[in-house]
Amino acid sequence: MKILFVADRLETFKIEKDTTFAMMRECHRRGMEVFACEVQDLFWRSGGVVQARASRLSLQSPVKAQWFTVIDTQDHALKDFAAVLMRKDPPFDVEYFYATHLLEHASKEGAKVFNDPVALRDHPEKLAILNFPHLISPTLVTKNAQHLKAFHEEHQDIILKPLDGMGGKGIYRVKSDALNLGSLIETLNMDGQQTVMAQRFIADIKHGDKRILLIDGKAVPFSLARIPQGSEVRGNLAAGGLGVAQALTPRDWDIANELGPVLKARGLFLVGLDVIGELLTEINVTSPTCFQEITDQTGFDVASEFMDALVRNVHSRNA
Catalytic residue among 112, 216, 226, 252: 226
Cα(310)–Cα(306) distance, integer angstroms:
6
The question of whether 17 is a catalytic residue gets the answer no
Catalytic residue among 161, 200, 209, 305: 161
CB 290, CB 19: distance < 8 Å: yes
The catalytically annotated residue of 209, 274, 293, 305 is: 274
d(CA 201, CA 276): 10
Residue 112 annotated to the active site: no
Q: Is 226 a catalytic residue?
A: yes
Catalytic residue at 282? yes
Specify whether the CB–CB gap between 5 and 287 falls below 8 A: no
Q: Exactly one of 87, 88, 112, 126 is catalytic; which is it?
A: 126
* 126 catalytically annotated: yes
* Residue 143 annotated in active site: no
- Catalytically annotated residue among 115, 189, 236, 284: 284
Q: First-to-last CA distance in the chain? A: 16
Check 216, 282, 293, 305 and give the catalytic one.
282
- Based on the number of CB atoms within 10 Å of its own CB, is 89 exposed (0-12), middle (13-18) or buried (19 or more)? middle
Q: Which of 25, 112, 200, 234 is catalytic?
A: 234
Q: Is 274 a catalytic residue?
A: yes
Residue tagged active-site, from 211, 216, 293, 305: 211
Active site residue 266: no
Residues assigned a catalytic role: 126, 161, 211, 226, 234, 274, 282, 284
